[in-house]
Amino acid sequence: MTLYSFFRSSAAFRVRIALNLKGLPFETVPIDLLAKGDGEQFSGAFRAVNPQMRVPALKLPSSDVLLQSLAIIDYLDEVYPEPPLLPGDPLARAKVRAVTLIIAADIHPLNNIGPLRYLKRTLGHDQSEIDAWSAHWIGAGFEAVERLIDPGPYAFGAAVTLADVCLVPQLANARRISMPLERFPKILAVESACLALPAFAEARPEVQPDAPG
């Protein structure tokens, strides 16, 4: 498998964690979202891989290309079911998905590179205002997540779920803007438990092949 990735992308971070948890080897093709100009994601070569011009994209041995991190992870969980990333019980599964969507659908889109560039280039906000925007929306989502999870030691008990796979990368985004996190002790406890696992630790942005030296 080939993962088109950017070291700092939280969506790509999710897929790296899932691949590692499933024990699936993959090759990383870095796509520099911050390259001179608007970034390598807008190149013709990458647009041929992903018409949306975003990372991650996962190329399968069949040459099929999967897009969107949650769709990729769902595919991996169906085709490689061990370890499962969703509980078997429908109620528990719905609770995991709710936290997953708070992160992936409510928080992440508002601090992704596209909207942040629009705030800077089109609306004229400076970096401190943009960071405050990101921190506001991360905080609003985390307040809900803090109440919904039940560390044990992971977000929903003794097994890693999709909620953990999404939560840890979002914390990396929060730390990148130096957002205070002390008011989220349950979230921080889950992060600590997850990062003790090689699957999470080896997916961290700072250890990726395209991370700055």
Tens place of pLDDT per residue across the chain (213 aa): 999 999 999 999 999 999 999 999 999 999 999 887 789 998 989 999 999 999 999 999 999 999 999 999 999 999 999 999 999 999 999 999 999 999 999 999 998 888 888 898 999 999 999 999 999 999 999 999 999 999 999 999 999 999 999 999 999 999 999 999 999 999 999 999 999 999 999 999 999 999 997
Query: Which helix or strand (DSSP H or E) is residue 58 part of?
Result: strand 57-59
Query: Would you give the DSSP letter of residue 143?
Result: H
**Tokens for 80?**
């490689």
- Domains in the chain with CATH codes: 2-83 (3.40.30.10), 90-200 (1.20.1050.10)
Assess whether the previous peptide bond of 115 is cis (omega < 30° from 0): no
One-letter amino acid at 82 equals: E
- The phi and psi torsions of 163 (rounded to 5 degrees) equal -60, -45
What SS3 class is residue 27?
strand
Inter-residue contact 56 to 31 (CB < 8 Å): no
One-letter amino acid at 129 equals: E
End-to-end Cα, the chain, rounded Å = 25
- Crossing angle between the packed helical segments 162-176 and 69-79, to the nearest 10 degrees: 150
**Tokens for 202?**
């080896």
Q: What angle is formed at CA 22 by the lines to CA 18 and CA 28, rounded to 5 degrees?
A: 60
pTM (predicted TM-score): 0.95
